[in-house]
Amino acid sequence: MSDIYQHFRKDEEPFIDQALEWKRIVAEQYRLKLTDFLDPREQVILTSVIGQSDEVKLDFFGGVPEAERKRAVLYPEYAEPSAEDYQLQAYEVLYPEKFASIEHRKLLGSLMGIGLKRQKFGDLIFAGGTWQFICSEEVADFVFSQLTHIGRVKVSLEKIPLLKLKVPEQDVEIRDDTVSSLRLDTICSAVSRQSRQKAHVLVKNGLVKVNWKVIEDPSYSLAEGDMLSVRGFGRFKLKNIDGKTKKGKWRLSFEKQK
């Protein structure tokens, strides 16, 4: 099983260890294991760790099928998880829309400001002029009582069933490209359509995030499922790495979120 580490980055080893421990618990104790919300890259890693196991099965759910961040349920082969097993609570944010506006970063910042980690929250959804978000059921009451302001805007929360979540229209552009390496500056150059030298500067100046973390190392290697955010150029998901061309370049496909 230790061979699995060679397929992933050094900084991902703690998550792999956690995933292996979840798998062991389910296999030995014959019970469901529910995780916090996982980002797309963590979902890829967990899927790889579980693999084609006959003992332990795996499913993801984030409130709506299109969710980016999802909780995972690991379960014995004889079990079948239901929507209730994911323990999700959805909220709609109520505020004077005619006199104030709320941005994604301010909503996220306010949620972090009440003292909970990002893994307790799923997607933040803006659709039809309304903000909604999903959180873990175990922190739902705390969030309800503590989130009273987003920036300077006074807000209140309304519990809503998952069925009332508004799914925003998926406005993405699929791009295919070839790159000389999987280095962060090389892929930033491809997605931003500028020179590698300029992309290198963006990375060094802290303007690039991988999986919501600022990465300032231009040589950092990207992997399938990574979310890439480049200040001024948008967000991209590295959807597929399709091997190499005859000239030794990597074939990639990625989604640009408009």
Q: What is the pTM (predicted TM-score) of this model? A: 0.81
Closest CA to 171 of 255, 83, 64, 52: 255
Measured distance CA(107)–CA(234) in Å, rounded:
19
On the question of pLDDT at 89 being above 60, the answer is yes
| Residues 106-147: tens digit of each pLDDT | 999 999 999 999 999 999 999 888 999 999 999 999 999 999
All structural domains of the chain: 2-82 (3.30.1370.160), 88-164 (3.30.70.330), 172-257 (3.10.290.10)
Q: Which amino acid is at 239?
A: K
Higher pLDDT, 93 or 40: 93
Closest CA to 187 of 172, 175, 204, 199: 199
